[in-house]
Amino acid sequence: MTYSSDRPHRRRSIHRWIRTTGALTIAAATVLGGITAPALAADAPPEDEQYRPLVHFTPEKNWMNDPNGMVFVDGTYHLFFQHNPKGTTWGNMSWGHATSPDLLHWEEQPLAIPQTFDENGASIEDIFSGSIVVDENNSAGFGPEGSSPLVAVYTSAYTPQHPQLAGIQAQSLAYSLDEGQTWTKYEGNPVLNRNSANFRDPKVFWYDGPAGAYWVMAAVEATDHKVVLYKSADLKSWEHLSDFGPANATSGIWECPDLFELPVDGDPGNTKWVMVVNLNPGHVNGGSGGQYFVGDFDGVTFTSESTDGPLELVDGELFAGFDGGDYEGWTVSNDPDSTQNGPWGSAPAAGTLDGQMTVAGYLGDGLVNGFIGHDGTVGSLESPAFTIDDDYVNLLVGGGEHPHVPGAQLENVPPEGRVVFDFELADDENLQTTGWELTGDFAIDPALNPSTRGGDYYLGAERINTIEGGPNADGNTGTMTSPSFALDGDHVSFLIGGGQRADGSLQLELVVDGKVVRTATGANSGLLQWASWDVAEFEGQDAQVRIRDEATGGWGHLTLDHVVVGDEPAQIRSDETSVSLIVDGEVVRTATGANSENLDWVSWDVREFSGREASIRIVDNNRFGWGHILVDQVMFSDAAQSTAAEGYDWLDWGRDYYAAVSYSGTPADSRIMQGWMNNWDYAGEIPTSTWRSSNTLPREVVLVNTSDGPRLRQEVVSQIDAQLDVSSARTRSDVTVDGDTGLDLSGDVAKVELALRLGDAERAGITVFSDGESGTKIGYDAETERVFIDRTDSGNVDFHPAFASIDDAPLALDDGMITLEVYLDRASVELFAADGMLTMTDQVFPTAGADEITAWSEGGAATIESITVTPLIPTMWDVPEPAPQPTIELGQTSIAAGGSLLVTGSGFDAGERLTVDLVADRIGAKKVTADDAGDVSRRVPVPGNLAAGEYTIAVTRADGSVIEKALIVTSRR
C-alpha cells in the first residue's frame, strides 16, 4: 500500500512526513495564471474526457492507486484496486473491483471491500493493499465442504479512532463465496499483527516444494526496508520464516512485494525465483518505482543472486568533503529566527541528527545536513570561488525533492502595483460589509469571512479561506464575489492555495462584463503561491474576482490573499532544497534530493564552462515536509560518476510504473504483471477531472539468461494483438531524418514500431502527441548511449514541478540501430526496447487534438529504416469500432511477365480519385475513380521485360495513404 504526501498521520513519529498544510507545488503557478480548459459537463461520457485512456483500465470515477488481489478464476481476470469511492484524491481507502475476459475489456464491479466504520460512523479501518488466493482445499474453512472460496489477504490500516489498534498496520482476511461479487470480513481479524505502524502489503501464494506444502506470505516492514516471509496451513495462523533486505535501492520505503518462480529461457528444469520490491521514493528516474531481485527460495529463505556490491568510484579531486570539522571557507547563512542555528549550524553534521531517519550514503566523517532545526528553518551555503578545469562536477545529494525554480524569488514579496484586496479589515468589518456578495454557506455567518485561520505564506493576518468561511468545512459551497475594480495595469496577481479541481467546481474567476475571462485554482496545497493573469487586453475596464466553491470532500476549498493590479506579474516563490553550480551569477546546473535520507551521486557535465570562475550554492528555502537537503563529496573529475541506482534491476525505467505485482491463478507457464501508472510525486495532482489514475497494460514476464545472469524480459500480453487495427496501419520506410522531419503519420491510441539508424546524428527520434508546437520526444542520445522519453514540452506539464522530466536508461545500439515498440493511449507512453529487456512508462497530458507523429535529429542525419503506426481498437467505454477500411484484391497473386492483372477494391469514398500502381520504379501507374458505391476496378499491365521476383501492387488514395498487396511475377510465358 502506497501513501501520498497528504497523509501525515501515517508517519507521525517520523520527521519527513510531518506537514500541516500539504505539499507545495511551485510550478503550478504557471498553470494558475492561464485560462483553464472548459469544464466537462457532469454527465459527459468517460470516453469524451480529454485524457481518458481507451485501452487501459481506469475507474469510471474517483481515485485509484495500487492494483490489489489480481487473480484469474474460471476464465475471468479479477482486478481489485485501492479506491476512494468518495473523491478524486487519496482517502477512504477501500477495494474497488473490475473483471475482464482478456485483461483488456474491463467491466467495473460494485465496491468490493469498503473501509470499516464504528457505530458512530467514524472510520476505524482503511483497507490497504493485499492479494487474493483461490483456497482450493478450503483450508480456511470459509466455505462449505468441497468449495474453493476466494480469500483476500489485506492490510488493515487502523485509524486513530480505533479503540485498541490505533495507528497499527496488520494483516486481515475477507472471503467471497460468489466469485468475488460480495465479501465478508473475517471476524477474527487481524490474523497477523506485529504491533507495527508500517507492516503491510501481503502477497500470498501456495508453496509446494522440498520444505513442505503451505501458504507463504511476503509482506514488508516498509521503513526497515525488509520483506518479511511467513507461512500458514490455514491462512489464519502464521509462522515467521525469514526476512530479506535491506538490499539495493533503499532510498524510499519498501512496499508491494511479490515472490514467484520462473523457468530460465523456458527450461522447466532450470528455474529461479524473482523477488519484486516497489519503493517510494528512490526510483532511478525519480519518485516511486519497482525493483526486483533474482535468486532462490527454499521454502524458508529467499537468497538473492543479483544484489549489487559497493559502487566503483571514478578518480577525481575532492573539492569539499566536509570532514574537517568546519565549513572550510564556505559562506554560511543560517535562519535568523532559528534558536538552534539551523539549518546548517556552525559545522558540518557527523551523520544523522536528532529526530531524523537514518542518513546513509555519505562518505567520510561529515556532510552538509540541513536538518538542524528540523524542516522549519531556511538558509544557504556558498563555496569559495574556483575555476572550472575538469569535465565533470560529481557530488552526493540527498534530502528533499524541491527543485530550483528559474526566475523565482526566495522571499514572498508581492509585485509592485495597487493592492485592491488585502483582506486586512477592521474588527467590525467583514467581506459582506465591504461590498462583497456572498452566497450559499458563505452567507450564513458573514463574520467568518475573511478568515484568520488556515494556509501558509499569506500576508498579514487575514485571507479568504473557504474551509473556514461556513459551517461545513470542506463541505462549504457557494460563491464570494468582489466589488468592481479597475483594470489599470497589465496583470492581476494574487496568492492562492487550497484544492485543485479540473471541472470548474473550485476556482478563482476574473469576471469582465459578466463573463469569466480568467480562472485559477489551487494545487492541493495549503501553501499559498503567487499567480498572475495577463489582462492587458481589458485595459481600462472594470472587473470583479469571484471565488466559486462547489467542491466537497478532501481539498474542497480555496485560499486567497493579496490581490494586486500592476504592470508586472508576480514573481513566484521557490521553496527549493537545491544544490547548484553558479557561473557569472547564474544557476547553470542544479540538483535536488529525492525525498530520501540516502545520498546518491549527481554528475554535472561542465565542459562548456571550462576556464570560467564558478561556485557551488546550497539552498534550503523550504519549511515543510522534506524541507532540508544533504550534500557531500563535491569532486572535480574527467569522468562522470554513475549513480548507485543505475546498477539495480528495475521493473521499468519510466516515472509511472509502481506497485506492480502479478496475477494469481494464471496457467503455470505464464506470469502476468500489472502496475499503477502514476507516481507519488504528483499522483494527486495529475490534471484529470472525474477520475484519477490508470493501470498500465498487463505484461507477461519471463526470465532469460544475460551476461549478468537471469533477468526479466517483458511484453504486453498477446491479447493486445486482437486489438490491432491492421487494415489501418501506416508504414514509412527509408526516411532520411535531418532536423525536424514530417512523416505524415498520426495516432493517439496506437502501437508504434520504430527501427532507427543513428547515422551521423548525435540525437534522433520521433515526437508523438504533437501539435506542431508541443509533443513528447522519444529518442536516443549517441554520446551518452541512452534511450529517453522527454516530456518537458509534452502539453500540460506545469501542474507539478517534478512532472516535466526527461527519463532515460542505458541502451547500447545494435549495429548502429535502435528498435522500439511503443504503445500510445491518449495520455501515456509505454516503451519496450532491447526485445523487452528494458521498458519505460510515462504519463503525458497532450494539448487537445495533438496526435501527429513526426521525426527529428540533432547534430547530423539519421534514418528511419521503418516506422509503422497501427491504431488500437478501444477496449474501454462505449467507443464505436473504427469504420471498415477500404480493401483491394488481386485477380491472382502470381502472374507471368507480359500478362495483365485485374485489381479490384471496395470501401472507398464515392468519386475518390486513386492511382493503381505496380511498384517497380512506378511501372504502369493508372488513374481510376471509385464509383458511387465506392468500388474500383482496373486492369494493370505487367511489362514483358520485367524480371521475375516479388513486387507490390499499391493503390494510393487521395489523402496520400497507400494500400498494398504482394504480387509474384514469374518469367514470361
Which sequence positions are flagged as catalytic? 66
Place of cell 526527461: 806
Q: What distance in Å separates the CA atoms of residue 805 and residue 679, rounded to the nearest whole number?
A: 12
Q: Which neighbouring-strand residues pair with 871?
A: 750
Look up residue 52 and give its DSSP letter. Answer: -
Hey, what's the torsion of the CAs at 739, 741, 746, 752, to 10 degrees? -60
Q: How many Cα atoms are found within 13 Å in the side-chain-facing hemisphere of 251?
A: 33
Q: What distance in Å separates the CA atoms of residue 880 and residue 54, rounded to the nearest whole number?
A: 11
Picking from 820, 822, 715, the residue whose alpha carbon sits closest to that of residue 758 is 820
CB atoms within 10 A of CB 454: 20
Look up residue 513 and give its DSSP letter. Answer: T
Q: What is the residue type of 550? A: E
Dihedral sign from CA coordinates of 473, 479, 480, 486: positive
Reduce the secondary structure of 806-874 to three states and give it as a string. Answer: EEEEECCCECCEEEEEEEEECCEEEEEEHHHCEEEEEECCCCCCCCEEEEEEECCCEEEEEEEEEEECC
Q: What distance in Å separates the CA atoms of residue 82 and residue 64, rounded to the nearest whole number?
A: 5
Look up residue 884 and give its DSSP letter. Answer: P
CB 417 within 8 A of CB 565: yes
Q: Which cell goes with 281?
A: 521514493
CB 846 within 8 A of CB 776: yes
Listed in order, strand segments (DSSP E) in 265-376 are 267-280, 289-297, 302-304, 317-320, 331-333, 368-369
Q: What distance in Å separates the CA atoms of residue 304 and residue 204, rounded to the nearest whole number?
A: 20
Q: Which cell goes with 9?
A: 498521520
Q: What is the residue type of 709? A: G
Place of cell 551555503: 381
The phi, psi pair for 557, rounded to 5°, reads: -150, 160
> Between β-strands 629-637 and 392-399, what pairing exists: parallel, antiparallel or unpaired?
antiparallel
CB 240 within 8 A of CB 221: no
Q: What is the residue type of 532? A: S
CB 691 within 8 A of CB 708: no
Contacts of 408 (CB under 8 A, 6+ apart): 26, 571, 572, 573, 574, 576
Q: Which cell goes with 171?
A: 494483516
Look up residue 28 and give its DSSP letter. Answer: H
- Judge if the upstream peptide bond of residue 941 is cis by omega within 30 degrees of 0: no
CB 412 within 8 A of CB 586: no
CB 153 within 8 A of CB 684: no
Identify the three-state secondary structure at position 758. Answer: coil
Dihedral sign from CA coordinates of 15, 19, 22, 24: negative
Please give the C-alpha separations between residue 150 and each of 140, 385, 532, 573, 666, in angstroms, as whole numbers: 10, 67, 55, 52, 15
Q: What distance in Å separates the CA atoms of residue 449 and residue 447, rounded to the nearest whole number?
A: 5
At 31, which helix (H) or strand (E)? helix 28-32
Picking from 191, 339, 289, 835, the residue whose alpha carbon sits closest to that of residue 596 is 289
Q: Which cell goes with 815?
A: 549495429
